[in-house]
Amino acid sequence: MQFVSDSTLPGHPTATGDLRAASPTLTAQMLGYSGLIPFVGLSAVAWLADGALQMKAAQVLLAYGVTILSFLGAIHWGLALHNPADPPRWMLVWGVVPSLLAWIAQLWGEASGLWILATGLWACFAVDRRVYPRFGAEGWLRMRLALTVIASLSCSAVAMRIVR
């Protein structure tokens, strides 16, 4: 699959560039893995602290996870709009599902919400495993898997900690 892009934008494929072998750039990797800092850091705080600080860490983790889950859905809108005249309807619909799931997670409170987020992160990865190759972005799946594992484990660990 080939994409046409503005060759004046650095880092974008050329009109003849095939993205099948594309992997995340160093910048994308640094940003992606840096995005795990709040997950891991807040998980550590929740496990090391008690009382109000523990609950605050869980609340902040939930809020951060909600934004990440929403972002993962938005990626599908971006992919769907590669064909702006006729974007795939199912991709547009799926693109809002993670945001709705994140909103429900926020409403249900910390423990349940963090479990919902962990599940939602895996649901997004499952969909991405099927969608990314269609857009020549399968090279991103290895990083997506690592991010999903660490983020979902962080959410699950805090959920388990605060229900004790």
d(CA 83, CA 21): 21
pTM of the entire structure? 0.85
Average pLDDT of every residue of the chain? 89
Do 98 and 69 form a contact (C-beta atoms < 8 A)? yes
Segment 94-116 shows an average pLDDT of 97
Tell me the pLDDT band of 84, cut-offs 50, 70 and 90: confident
pLDDT tier at 163 (50, 70, 90 boundaries)? confident
Long-range contacts of 123-127 (CB under 8 A, 24+ apart): 123/98, 124/69, 124/72, 124/73, 124/98, 124/148, 127/76, 127/94
pLDDT of residue 110: 97
